Amino acid sequence: MEDILGQEWDIVPAGGATGEAFYARYRDQQLFLKRNSSPFLAVLSAEGIVPKLVWTKRLENGDVITAQHWLPGRELKPIDMNQEYVAKMLKKIHRSEPMLGMLSRLEKQPLKPDAIYHSVVKELDEEVLSLPAVHKTMVFLLKEKLNVNCDEKVVCHGDVNHNNWLLTEDNQLYLIDWDGAMIADPAIDLGMLLYWYLPLEDWQSWLDMYGKPLTDDLRLRMKWYVSLQTLSSIQWHKNKNRLQEMEYWVNFLEKLSNYENESISSTHCDKLS
């Protein structure tokens, strides 16, 4: 990275799973650098979903380095997720034609419930599949798989965890970490946000800000996708030997399967931050 910016820049790793992101500072300039970001980043920047893209450079080895403004701010807290600015931002994302067009040009095909189901289930090992809550959930998923088809396909983020939302000091809101972006049912993002962060009695008022009614069909689709996401979380934490977190999601799955509609309170989400 020093070869690109110069020796006068202070460059430190930004963390993350890939090790391909860095923070850079020189005097009053601050940048967020990433190696081999998706071309999707350009339209995210143009739409104001992520901090502004400053430049893109291709290296001799074929790698592409992108630089974005590094903005002072904070991650959202679980309690912030019921705010209107979150609902409005997610509405903007789900209704963005430029974002949908770019993902389509990148040959992202709209994901159907069956494909998402099989991508998750094939990763589950026998021990996870033997858990009573998982077995009960599998019955539900199979029973309803044909009932959750939705003609509406939008750009979904896929992980609207509060840690992926950045609120800057001048009150600009961004949603970052788009590596899992997909074209799919908006219920994927909506279900995760509502089930994780809002009590059931607040769902309709939040959806009013987003611009969608809380129909029985939407309830079913959200529950179906949240159930799948929870199975994936259980297996992921097991693979990492994070057994306490795995147990947390098993308990959540039990609540999800035992009640028609259930949500995790923000105090529970604090444990996952």
- Would you please indicate which residues are annotated as catalytic (active-site) residues? 159
- Strand residues in the chain grouped as ranges (E): 10-13, 21-26, 29-35, 53-58, 64-69, 73-75, 154-156, 165-168, 173-175, 182-184
CA dihedral 134, 138, 141, 142 (to 10 degrees): 180
Specify burial of residue 85 (Cβ count, 10 A radius: 0-12, 13-18, 19+): middle
Q: For the beta carbon of residue 192, count every other beta carbon within 10 angstroms.
A: 21
SS3 126: helix
**Could you tell me which residues come within 8 angstroms of residue 123 by beta carbon, excluding any fewer than 6 positions away?**
232, 235
For residue 108, give the DSSP letter: P
- Largest interatomic CA distance in the chain: 61
